[in-house]
Amino acid sequence: MELPNVSRSELEVLKALWTCGPSTVRQVWEWLPEGKWVYTTVQTLLQRLESKGFVGSHKRDRVRVYMAAVTRDDLVQERLGNLSRELCDGSSVPLMRGLVSGRGLSADEIAELRSMLDALEGGEPAEGKRK
């Protein structure tokens, strides 16, 4: 399933839901840096995210509660897949090379990558630590 585009502003609101879990508009607004947006802007961004399928909601005691309908990993996979198709003709190797050589990796990150590669060689799904 290809996800629709998400703006930078929408992504900030989505990150709040990933961090805080199910939240009201006010809770998301309070989590964002002070003065970032007015309350109604956050409300509009949540409504847009819901119409795009990134967020779900339900009423609880006369207050609408929003929750992420897409995980961070889902969005990362979607965006990296698109980037791989657009820039690398579908190959993951140049993308991985750019990610790995573009910044220093910690010993823990190297060990996690090694573990994922070992799992792939063994025919298992590459499951790394989810952040």
Instruction: Average the pLDDT over 57-68 and give the result.
Output: 94
Residues 54 and 103 in one domain: no
Residues 108 and 80 in one domain: no
For residue 30, the number of C-alpha atoms closer than 13 Å in the C-beta half-sphere is 6
pLDDT given for residue 69 in this prediction: 95
Confidence check: pLDDT of 130 > 60: no
Instruction: Average the pLDDT over 16-36 and give the result.
Output: 95
Confidence check: pLDDT of 45 > 90: yes
Q: What does pTM read for this prediction?
A: 0.76
CA-to-CA separations, 10 to 2, 50, 123, in angstroms, rounded? 17, 10, 37
Contacts of 86 (CB under 8 A, 6+ apart): none
Confidence check: pLDDT of 98 > 80: yes
Domain assignment present for 41:
yes
Instruction: Average the pLDDT over 82-101 and give the result.
Output: 86
3-state helix, strand, coil in the chain (%, to 5): 55, 10, 30
Average pLDDT, the chain: 88
CATH number where 84 lies: 1.10.10.10
Model confidence at 113, in pLDDT bands (50, 70, 90)? Answer: confident
Residues 50 and 23 in one domain: yes
Residues 7 and 56 in one domain: yes
Residue 3 belongs to what domain range?
A: 1-91
Q: Residue 46 and residue 83: Cα distance in Å, rounded?
A: 26
Domain assignment present for 44:
yes
Residues 2 and 61 in one domain: yes
Rounded to 10 degrees, the C-alpha dihedral 39/8/63/52 comes to 140
Residues 96 and 70 in one domain: no
Residues 32 and 58 in one domain: yes
Domain count for the chain, please give it. 2
